[in-house]
Amino acid sequence: MKTILLGACTVGLLTGCLQERTYLDPEQNIGLTGSSSNMSLRDGQVHGDFGPRRGFDGEATRLEGSNDPQYGMTVVNVVREQENVGAGMVILSISGRTLDNFEPGEHSFRYDQNDLSTNSEIFVNVCGGNDDTAFDYDAPAENGTITVEDGTDGQRHVDIHTETPVVDASTGVPTDDVEISDSSFAYQPSQR
């Protein structure tokens, strides 16, 4: 059952950046039963390259996220729309527990399309597009880390580092080059 659920989540996340994606209002309850909740996010940053969109560097123009303690899931979208560059987005997806349940420190993840059991808890997608409503580049980050820190302000601070193989635009084959992105955000934990 876990393999089926992981496979379904992976398929859903791989299409997560496409133009038809519907985004939830972060102030709206997502409608699941139980103790689901949305996140209060702030201080988002996006730096790096997302496919053909290069050189993102600055504050996030949109932050969205939801914790679902009942099903043990967290999803956070960190988006930056930048003039003359387009839009870049990092989607952090956690299953099995919420971000609130991570111990402070660095947590590594790895994605291998041939072995979905490499990391069944943390999955990160990177996306790029002409603007924040039309993402045409969407790739799973192959390696990376999330670093969680408890701030003195009561907020949790999260840094997301991704490493994604560059895909040759003409052949669709990954090259030996790697694009790197670093994103971050802070949020008010819903449980401790």
Compute the 3-state secondary structure of the chain and give helix, strand, coil in percent, each to the nearest 5.
10, 55, 40
pLDDT digit string (tens) for 58-104?
999 999 999 898 899 999 999 999 988 899 999 999 999 999 999 99
Q: How far is CA 97 from CA 29, 93, 102, 150, 191, in A?
A: 19, 10, 8, 17, 12
Give the chain's end-to-end CA distance (angstroms, integer): 29
Residue-wise DSSP of 60-129: -SEEEEEEETTTTEEEEEEEEEETTTEEEEEEEEEESS-GGGSPSEEEEEE--TT-TTS-SSEEEEEEEE
Q: Confidence class of residue 105 from pLDDT cuts 50, 70 and 90?
A: very high
HSE toward the beta carbon, residue 134, CA cutoff 13 A: 3
CA 161 to chain centre: 10
Which pair of structure tokens corresponds to residue 141?
């980050």
- Of 23 and 91, the structure prediction assigns the larger pLDDT to 91
pLDDT digit string (tens) for 71-84?
999 999 999 999 88
72 φψ region: left (φ > 0), alpha (ψ -120 to 50), beta (else): left
Which pLDDT score, from 0 to 100, does residue 180 have?
94
CB 184 within 8 A of CB 160: yes
pTM for the full model? 0.78
Angle CA 167–90–180, to nearest 5: 50
Residue holding tokens 């932050």? 63
pLDDT digit string (tens) for 115-169?
766 667 899 999 998 887 778 888 899 999 999 999 999 999 999 999 998 877 7
